[in-house]
């Protein structure tokens, strides 16, 4: 188990457009280094609702952009891999852990630490979740994260309850993910493309209202995350905001990358903007 950090930066950003959220996550990870808190927990929502595609996922065959527009749902692409997530009635987090002593945290090290915080947060709501080893990946069930099994998942009652994705950058590692306040499989089925959306979750996935036994608000989850991470990780979450450098880079990334059609459709060259 990794040695816990003493102080993390805590940012509750509220709801923002998908392109801005993805730009902020990437900017944090790219700015990670000296002068930046050793770790940041950012909580946020999406307004308008959005689908985030995995970095290498095909837009075609995943969602229909015309149907998404009709539903008032943006489509953006993440900097991380994995499968599509519908951010409609969900609760989204990101964690950036910067390098310490010249060593960037490994993918599994970061996942284990974050999973402990999430499991503890769910525990404050009476949900007995656990980190589960599958020893395999199965992303063939459909285009949605709720349908896929990864090597390690956070589960409740045999069902996946949190979907997460990672990417390692030069100065640290970014992990972000979502828990769903309620089951939105009906919307996923409507906006899915190519007839591949029929199963959407089913027995593999649980929303928070099912696990808790009642409706759960985003505000309640924010409190649970803060309490869970502080108690389990033995850290102090100090409320903060993005630095000027992070904000400047986030604005550039939003304008030149995430808000553009090229990146979302997969036809945007990786090094198109200053190697970003």
Quote the CA–CA distance of 162 and 85 in Å, as a whole number: 11
Catalytic: which of 31, 110, 145, 162?
145
Give the SS3 label for residue 81.
Answer: coil
Q: State the helix-helix crossing angle for 218-233 and 107-123, rounded to 10 degrees.
A: 120
Give the SS3 label for residue 245.
Answer: helix
Cis peptide leading into residue 191 (ω within 30°):
no
Q: Among positive and negative, which fits the CA dihedral 17, 22, 23, 29?
A: positive
Assess whether 110 carries a catalytic annotation: no
Nearest Cα residue to 23 out of 71, 97, 65, 77: 77
DSSP string, 174-227: EEEEEEESS--HHHHHHHBSTT--SSSSGGGB--HHHHHSS---HHHHHHHHHH
Going by the DSSP 8-state scheme, the letter that residue 147 receives in this structure is G
Place of tokens 């994705």: 165
Pairing type for strands 74-77 and 50-53 reads: parallel
Q: How many residues does the chain have?
A: 276
Nearest Cα residue to 178 out of 59, 79, 56, 51: 51
Quote the CA–CA distance of 43 and 31 in Å, as a whole number: 18
Q: Which residues carry out catalysis?
A: 145
């Amino acid at each position: 188990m990794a040695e816990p950090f003493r102080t993390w930066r805590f940012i509750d950003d509220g709801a923002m457009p998908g392109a801005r959220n993805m730009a902020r996550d990437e900017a944090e990870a790219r700015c990670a280094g000296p002068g930046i808190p050793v770790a940041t927990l950012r909580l946020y929502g999406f307004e308008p609702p959005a689908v985030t595609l995995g970095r290498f996922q095909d837009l075609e065959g995943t969602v229909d952009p015309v149907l998404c527009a009709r539903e008032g749902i943006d489509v953006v692409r993440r900097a991380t891999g994995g499968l599509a997530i519908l951010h409609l009635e969900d609760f989204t987090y990101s964690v950036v852990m910067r390098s310490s002593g010249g060593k960037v945290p490994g993918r599994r090290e970061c996942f284990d630490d974050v999973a402990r915080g999430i499991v503890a947060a769910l525990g404050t709501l009476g949900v007995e979740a656990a980190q589960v080893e599958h020893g395999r990946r199965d992303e063939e069930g459909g285009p949605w994260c709720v349908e896929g099994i990864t090597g390690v998942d956070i589960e409740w009652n045999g069902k996946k309850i949190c979907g997460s994705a990672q990417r390692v950058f030069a100065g640290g590692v970014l992990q972000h993910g979502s828990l769903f306040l309620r089951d939105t499989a009906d919307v996923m089925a409507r906006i899915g493309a190519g007839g591949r959306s029929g199963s959407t979750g089913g027995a593999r996935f649980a929303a928070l209202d099912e696990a808790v036994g009642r409706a759960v608000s985003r505000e309640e989850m924010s409190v649970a995350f803060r309490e869970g991470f502080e108690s389990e990780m033995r850290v102090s979450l100090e409320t903060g905001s993005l630095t000027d450098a992070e904000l400047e880079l986030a604005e550039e990334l939003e304008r030149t990358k995430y808000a553009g059609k090229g990146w979302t459709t997969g036809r945007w060259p990786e090094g198109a903007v200053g190697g970003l």
